[in-house]
Structure 1
Amino acid sequence: MSLSLIIKREFTAKVRNKSFIVMTFLSPLLLVAMAVLIGYLASLNGSEKVQVGIYDQAGVLKGDFKSTEKTEYVDLSAMSLVKAKEKASQDFEGLIYVPKVDSLSQLTSKVEYLSNDSPNLDFVAGIEDVVNNKLTKNNLKQLGFDYDKIEKAKTDSTIHLSKFSGEETFKEASIIKIVIGGLSGYLIMMFVIIYGNMVMRSVIEEKTNRIIEIIISSVKPFQLMMGKIIGTSLAGILQFLIWSIIGLGLFFVLSTFFNVQMGGAAAARPEVAQASQEAMQGIQIYISELWKLPLLTIFISFLVYFIGGYFLYSSLYAAIGAAVDSETDSQQFLLPIIMPLMLGVYVGFFSVISDPHGTVAVVFSMIPLTSPIVMLMRIPFGVPLWQIIVSVVLLFATFFFVVWFAAKIYRIGILMYGKKPTYKEIFKWLKY
């Protein structure tokens, strides 16, 4: 039995599996349905208008709270405090209580917000801003400054960004780079975990059913392991392509022809929607910055790192599957595999985003176990070609080394039954 036949067998077995077929076509439908649901809930949340009562015994702040599209402030200062609390608890979202004070400076710690439920932190911050502005104005007035003149003297500056080559860039470019890099790295991690587990389950299933004893009589263990890895990867790529086509197609049809709002876009406020011209200009900036990115390099790098990272980790998953008799027994060996993947994601989001060319980001983009994630997050920010080449060479060199010792574990473990292996025993298998 040749390697090509094993690959064909594994690929066919995967794509004909009922659960594979169901999840291939059901997953994008669930994803789009979830996006529609989030958009619907966001639109409901965005359309709700709440009422907040104000009881201002000091008589200094009730005029500073201005009603908005989402919040209406109602002055309850004319009634007694007990009745105001009772009415607010029944009919309003909450009550802002401003006690009577001898001087405005005492309001720094005297203003209260009463509500039945825990308030929104942004709303509380808004109340604090109103109080702070009022007290700041009062302090400036006491010091002999004119607050209105100070406000008029304030100005907003814009820093123009450009490269030494003269090419102009925008702050929005960093956002695009973060999104593309983060999405690419996260996809790599998810693919490795999902399809690596598929390889491991396939090995455990054949080992448990004793089918492996028949197969191993006509093929070398190394060929069988590589056949499973490659066959599963091809099935995974096919599944991903189907997901992309169906998902993007549904997103386009629903948003274009049925005007269905998806995700957080449905929560756009009316005042934002009115500024359509500014919004279009913002979109054009994002699109122009997107085309300035090394898209071809990003795409090719994604494929290269996907192949290298998948083969590297799938070899370890296959070795674990050969060493154990059930998925339960495999849990003790999975943590050392998952930890580098999680480390790569954390380094990417907390180091690459803040300093893509820093020492930490560069080092982890070279380490083979984390480079498929970290390097993909760095590439949109611009990475020297020699660093990519070194990283890829190290990745595939490590892959061949891992395949070598994973094949040794696979060769011995595939015929071991009835005993839970330990790390010490697996280390001994490497010597055989």
Structure 2
Amino acid sequence: MSKLALIIKREFIAKVRNKSFIVMTFLSPLLFVGMGVLIGYLASMNKDSVTKIAIYDEVGYLKNDFKSDKFTQYTDLSLMPFEVAKDTASKSYAGLLFIPKVDSIQQLKEKVEYISEDSPSIEFISDVETVIDSALTTDNLKKLGFDAGKIESAKVNSSLKLSKFSGGESLKGLNEIKVAIGGIMGYLIMMFIIIYGNFVMRSVIEEKTNRIIEIIISSVKPFQLMMGKIIGNSLAGILQFLIWVVVGLVLMFVAQNFFGLQMGSGAVNPESVQIAQQSADFSKLQLYITEIMNLPLGLMISCFIIYFIGGYFLYSSLYAAIGAAVDSETDSQQFLLPIIMPLMLGVYIGFFTVINDPHGTVATVFSIIPFTSPIVMLMRIPFLEPEHYWQLILSIVLLFATFTLVVWFASKIYRVGILMYGKKPTWAELFKWLKY
């Protein structure tokens, strides 16, 4: 067996035998499921709660305009003395909406007051202001001789129909779905790079601080040692992801068969399906599913694997070089920010530019730049037409070419840094090491 294969085997076995790796491998799916259940439960609690608001309208201009619903309940306390109503509201209500006495309703534009101990939500403030604006607008229309009721009944809510030049119906929100699918893939790659890149760096630092690195490099080349650590940790990470998938499927099976949680087609009986098929909502859902299935899923999965490997190797070589250059994890912080920034930039560029203009200059450039392409290009792939595939090919070629170049530079830092102790290196010193 070659020396590189031995190093890969050693790193892989050391990682999978680690107690924290074993615990988190099987505990993480349970934590994610538990978190999802908790969030769903808390969300349902908020939906069931009703906010009670007291109204004190000294003239009676607006009290009838505030309508109670399942989330907000308005109670009129205008018949009480103001101080009594204020005291009652402070004890039994979330707040008091005070509408003062004015000569004209138009004077209420900036005089309505909401009294409470806690600051109200922006949504609540917006709803109250909307009611006030509507009442003042209606009053203005009446003064101008217009029939506010007829104007309101004449309003029309239009719905833009989307279609394709090739024929067939297009769907609203489809771009957001495409970006979300690519964004999830890109986010997984980013998290894998950060988590397992740190594992590589810690492994190098640990061997360096234990002073066993001198013995290791007496038998293998620094480049072989660095690549062995990168590949060994990546295999451990892939194994962990596969276990998470299996455990997730098992949890779904248990939830469906032992706890009565129905998923998929088993959750709906044939009669309800027949009724749903007659509705427009079900037809829309079918169109969305059809559009998603028409996406280049094979290409997306293949590119996910390619960018997963290329992105991880590119960044892990930098993590390994940093680990070799420092003596402790604390000293590494000054060098980690330039590594993490391109990943974060890729996420923001992807979500804020691809969704609006997937073929624009910004999205195209950052999907080709190797340090951001594993994230941005995955978001663009659902939008790519065959005439744009050259950009995908160029992005992959540049990614692996840059990986080769970065590994060469990182190995030069690595072979010098692993033997340096007791001094925090500066950026200038790292550049000097590249010349050795």
Q: TM-score, normalised by structure 1?
A: 0.92
Partner of 2:205: 204
TM-aligned CA distance change 1:167 to 1:223, over 3 Å: farther
| Residue 217 of structure 2: aligned partner | 216
Distance, in Å, in 2 between the alignment partners of 1:258 and 1:112 is 50
Whether 1:416 and 2:417 are equivalent positions in the alignment is no
**Cross-structure match for 2:396:** 392
| Aligned equivalent of 1:89 | 90
Aligned to 2:311: 309
* Deviation digits for residues 205-232 of structure 1 (CA, Å, limit 9, x no counterpart): 1111122222212211111111111111
How many Å separate the matches in 1 of 2:228 and 2:403? 15
1:354 Cα offset (Å)? 2.1
Which residue is 1:324 aligned to? 326
Flag the 1:17–1:38 CA change in 2: closer, same or farther, 3 A. same
Q: Is 1:98–1:110's contact at 8 Å kept on the other side of the alignment?
A: yes
Asked if the contact 1:348–1:374 (Cα under 8 Å) also holds between the matched residues in 2, the reply is: yes
Partners of 2:281 and 2:16 in 1: how far apart?
Answer: 44
Separation of aligned partners in 1, 2:96 and 2:295: 50
**Letter of the 2:316 counterpart:** S
Judge which range, 242-251 or 57-66, deviates more.
242-251
Q: Partner residue of 1:232?
A: 233
Deviation at 1:21, TM superposition (A): 0.5
User: How has the CA–CA distance of structure 1 residues 260 and 95 changed in structure 2, closer, same or farther, with 3 Å as cutoff?
Assistant: farther
SS of the residue corresponding to residue 39 of structure 1 reads helix
Q: Distance in 2 between matches of 1:255 and 1:353?
A: 36
| Counterpart in the other structure of 1:101 | 102
CA gap 1:245/1:141 in 2 versus in 1, 3 angstroms: farther
Range with bigger deviation, 330-339 or 280-289: 280-289
Mapped partners of 1:188, 1:368: distance in 2: 14
SS across alignment from 2:368 = coil
Sort the Cα spacing of 1:143 and 1:183 in 2 relative to 1 into closer, same or farther, 3 A. same
Q: Name the counterpart of 1:265.
A: none
Matched-pair identity in %: 68
* One of 333, 343, 346 as aligned partner of 1:344: 346
Q: Kindly indicate whether residue 254 of structure 2 is the aligned counterpart of residue 250 of structure 1.
A: no
Question: Which residue in the other structure is 1:268 paired with?
Answer: none
Give 1:315 deviation, angstroms. 0.5
- d(CA) in 1 for partners of 2:225 and 2:342? 26
Q: Mind listing any 5+ residue stretches in structure 2 that lack a counterpart? A: 263-275
CA contact (8 A) 1:172 1:286 kept: no
Q: TM-score, normalised by structure 2?
A: 0.91
- 1:259 is displaced (CA, Å) by 6.1
Task: Indicate the SS of the match to 1:73.
Answer: strand
**C-alpha deviations, 1:381-411, integer Å up to 9, x for none?**
2252111000000110000000111111111
Partner of 1:365: 367
SS state at 2:74 partner: strand
Cα deviation per residue 1:294-342 (whole Å; 9 max; x = unaligned)?
2112111111111111000000011111111111111111111111111
Map of 1:95-134 to 2, 5 A cutoff? 95-134=96-135
1:378 aligns with 2:392: no
Match of 2:407 among 397, 403, 408: 403
Aligned residue identity for 2:420: M
- CA 148–345 in structure 1, closer or farther in 2 if over 3 Å, else same: same
Structure 1, 397-406 or 250-259: larger mean CA deviation: 250-259
Cα distance change of structure 1 residues 353 and 229 upon mapping to structure 2, 3 Å threshold: same
Deviations 1:228-264 (Å, cap 9, x if unpaired)? 1111111111111222332354356447864679xxx
Which amino acid in the other structure matches residue 325 of structure 2?
A
Task: Tell me the alpha carbon deviations over residues 98-121 of structure 1, each in whole angstroms, 9 at most, x when there is no partner.
Answer: 112111111111111111211121
| Conservation of the 8 A alpha-carbon contact between 1:186 and 1:345 | yes
Contact 1:50 1:70 in 2 (8 A): yes
> Aligned partner of 2:307: which letter?
Y
2:340 aligned with 1:334, yes or no? no
> Structure 2 vs 1, CA of residues 420 and 299 (structure 1 numbering), >3 Å: closer, same or farther?
same
Q: How many aligned residue pairs are there?
A: 420
Aligned-residue Cα RMSD (Å) equals 2.1
SS of the residue corresponding to residue 189 of structure 2 reads helix
Instruction: Label 1:69 to 1:257 Cα distance change in 2 as closer, same or farther (>3 A).
Output: farther
Shift of 1:19: 0.7
Q: Which runs of 5+ in 1 are unaligned?
A: 262-274
Partner of 1:297: 299
Q: 1:281 to 1:249 in 2, by over 3 A?
A: farther
1:272 — aligned with what? none
Question: Residues 149-160 of structure 1: matches in 2 within 5 Å?
Answer: 149-160=150-161
Structure 1 stretch displaced more, 31-40 or 174-183? 174-183
Deviation at 1:167, TM superposition (A): 3.7
Equivalent in the alignment of 2:4:
3
Q: Distance in 1 between matches of 2:254 and 2:283?
A: 24
